[in-house]
């Protein structure tokens, strides 16, 4: 039987703020937004022409080609197909007339809305087959008969019976498709921890800017688009290797890299969710995943200079470089209290999505208290390396468990 669950209202506003500031701005500006900022500075602050060299001309093609290969190799089918779409569209843009622009923009918009809406299933999936149709249309666009392209342009012009402004070089209907795709990408960017959504949003905006500009501005934006897509592919590959997709925290491989770089004094803390297996067995793995996300959100904001990592399962590790145990104890205790104080409400499975006019007494399961036990240890003469410090922190964690759980042992 499915169980609906939510965190308490006091936590909802916190999650909204974090979503807007941390995820939207973070995923949008890093890393795909960096070339955009550089392009704005160049276009506004410098009155210069772009260099007429083969490298400047080939830069966007090289970036988009490498981006397509990297994202395809790591199974990011949506990003790979969108990168290929923009690459082909950019080449076609220099060889078409003004009456073909609307059709070309519509094919890119169709590719974008498919990439934004469909789930990530890898290259060998039905989603890739669906996504390949607009890419195939773009690849063969220049070979379409002129009469057929004119007919498509006429149909697209009547897609929305609203006259657009003079500066809008595409029909209102096609612009609406871009708006829908942008809305889906924004939503997914808040919910997910992948840089793909932010990269697609940035590059689609750059594409729209490219088809509305000319000369130097268009050349600069075209290079910017290639660089943005390239950086997005690199960051996606990095996230796949070092970030935990469920919680958004750095994963085990990132922790190992951090431990290898530690020198001098430091403290390691192991954090374990109490009775997590029983919770999973009772309420299901979906509710368990939500608990992991909630705890990870609190760990992400740990004070005292610590950084949290997902160690595995329901265990997390917090690293405090340059700190001994006495300096981090109060911060770990504050973290434990903060997690225990966040309500986690299990809703009844028959709870309606919209509030009824005459609410009845609910049959919900009520709030579930989620707690963690923490064990911390510092580097010392008896524990001179990270392996021994981590082992001591793990011993302290089990000491906290034996002493009744929901406590800190350091």
Same domain, 261 and 300: yes
Residue 358 lies in a domain: no
Is the bond preceding residue 285 a cis peptide, omega within 30 degrees?
Answer: no
Other Cβ atoms within 10 Å of 354 Cβ, number: 5
Predicted pLDDT of residue 49: 75
pLDDT band at 6 (very low <50, low <70, confident <90, very high): very low
Number of domains in the chain: 2
Q: For residue 361, is it left (φ>0), alpha (ψ between -120 and 50) or beta?
A: beta
- In this predicted model, what pLDDT tens digit does every residue of 301-333 receive, in sequence order? 899 999 999 999 999 999 999 999 999 999 999
Residue 197: phi and psi, rounded to 5, are -60, -45
Predicted pLDDT of residue 46: 77
Same domain, 224 and 276: no
Predicted pLDDT of residue 347: 61
Residue 392 lies in a domain: yes
- In this predicted model, what pLDDT tens digit does every residue of 139-150 receive, in sequence order? 999 999 988 888
Average pLDDT over residues 203-225: 92
Element at 367 (helix H, strand E): strand 366-369
Whole-number average pLDDT of the chain? 85
To the nearest 10°, report the CA torsion of 229, 142, 218, 80.
Answer: 0
pLDDT band at 8 (very low <50, low <70, confident <90, very high): very low
Whose CA is closest to 308, among 263, 261, 254?
A: 254
Task: Kindly tell me the sign of the dihedral angle through the C-alpha atoms of 122, 126, 131, 132.
Answer: positive
Among 111-120, 128-137, 253-262, 355-364, the least confident range = 355-364
Report whether pLDDT(20) > 60.
no
Same domain, 302 and 185: no
Predicted pLDDT of residue 1: 37
* CATH number of the domain where residue 344 is located: 3.30.70.270
Predicted pLDDT of residue 228: 94
Predicted pLDDT of residue 130: 84
Residue 142 lies in a domain: yes
Q: What percent of the chain has pLDDT over 90?
A: 51
- Alpha-carbon distance of 57 to 46, in angstroms, equals 20
Burial class (CB in 10 A: 0-12, 13-18, 19+), 374: buried
- In this predicted model, what pLDDT tens digit does every residue of 359-388 receive, in sequence order? 555 454 557 889 999 999 999 999 999 999
Quick check: helix, strand or coil at residue 127?
Answer: helix
Whose CA is closest to 271, among 368, 369, 406, 404?
A: 406
Residue 14 lies in a domain: no
Average pLDDT over residues 130-143: 90
Whose CA is closest to 81, among 97, 91, 93, 69?
A: 69
Residue 379 lies in a domain: yes
Residue 357 lies in a domain: no
- Domain span at residue 311? 252-351+364-409
Same domain, 41 and 186: yes
Same domain, 165 and 308: no
Report whether pLDDT(283) > 90.
no
- In this predicted model, what pLDDT tens digit does every residue of 64-77 receive, in sequence order? 999 999 999 988 88
Same domain, 184 and 259: no
Looking at 172, 207, 242, the residue that finishes a domain is 242
Same domain, 90 and 184: yes
Report whether pLDDT(110) > 60.
yes
Residue 38 lies in a domain: yes
Same domain, 278 and 297: yes
Looking at 242, 275, 300, the residue that finishes a domain is 242
Task: Kindly tell me the sign of the dihedral angle through the C-alpha atoms of 339, 340, 341, 344.
Answer: positive
Residue 211 lies in a domain: yes
Same domain, 202 and 238: yes
Among 7-11, 289-293, 376-380, 393-397, the least confident range = 7-11
Same domain, 291 and 210: no
């Amino acid at each position: 039987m499915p169980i609906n669950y939510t965190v308490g209202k006091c936590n909802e506003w916190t999650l909204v703020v974090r979503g807007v500031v941390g995820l939207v701005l973070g995923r949008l500006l890093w890393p795909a937004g960096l070339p955009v900022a550089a392009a704005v500075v160049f276009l506004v602050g410098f009155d210069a022409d772009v260099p007429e060299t083969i490298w400047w001309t080939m830069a966007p093609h090289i970036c988009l080609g490498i981006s397509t290969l990297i994202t395809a190799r790591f199974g990011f089918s949506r990003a790979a197909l969108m990168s290929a779409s923009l690459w082909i569209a950019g080449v076609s843009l220099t060889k078409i007339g003004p009456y073909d622009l609307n059709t070309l923009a519509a094919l890119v918009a169709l590719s974008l809305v498919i990439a934004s809406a469909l789930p990530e299933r890898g290259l060998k999936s039905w989603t890739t087959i669906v996504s390949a149709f607009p890419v195939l249309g773009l690849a063969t666009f220049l070979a379409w008969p002129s009469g057929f392209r004119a007919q498509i342009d006429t149909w697209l012009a009547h897609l929305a019976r609203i006259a657009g402004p003079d500066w809008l070089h595409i029909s209102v209907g096609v612009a609406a498709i871009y708006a829908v795709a942008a809305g889906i990408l924004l939503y997914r960017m808040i919910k997910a921890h992948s840089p793909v959504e932010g990269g697609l949003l940035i590059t689609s905006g750059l594409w729209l800017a490219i088809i509305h500009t000319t000369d130097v501005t268009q050349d600069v934006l075209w290079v910017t688009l290639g660089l943005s897509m390239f950086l997005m592919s690199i960051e996606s590959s990095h996230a796949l290797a070092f970030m935990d997709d469920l919680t958004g925290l750095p994963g085990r491989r990132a922790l190992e890299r951090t431990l290898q770089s530690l020198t001098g004094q430091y403290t390691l803390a192991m954090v374990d969710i109490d009775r997590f297996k029983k919770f999973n067995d009772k309420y299901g793995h979906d509710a368990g995943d939500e608990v992991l996300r909630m705890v990870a959100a609190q760990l992400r904001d740990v004070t005292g200079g610590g950084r949290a990592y997902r160690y595995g399962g329901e265990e997390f590790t917090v690293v405090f470089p340059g700190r001994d145990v006495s300096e981090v104890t109060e911060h770990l205790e504050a973290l434990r209290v903060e997690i225990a104080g966040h309500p986690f409400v299990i809703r009844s499975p028959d709870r309606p999505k919209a509030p009824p006019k005459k609410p009845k007494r609910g049959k919900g399961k009520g709030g579930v208290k989620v707690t963690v036990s923490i064990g911390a240890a510092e580097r010392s003469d008896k524990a001179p390396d990270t392996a021994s410090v981590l082992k001591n922190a793990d011993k302290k964690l089990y000491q906290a468990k034996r002493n009744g759980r929901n406590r800190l042992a350091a």
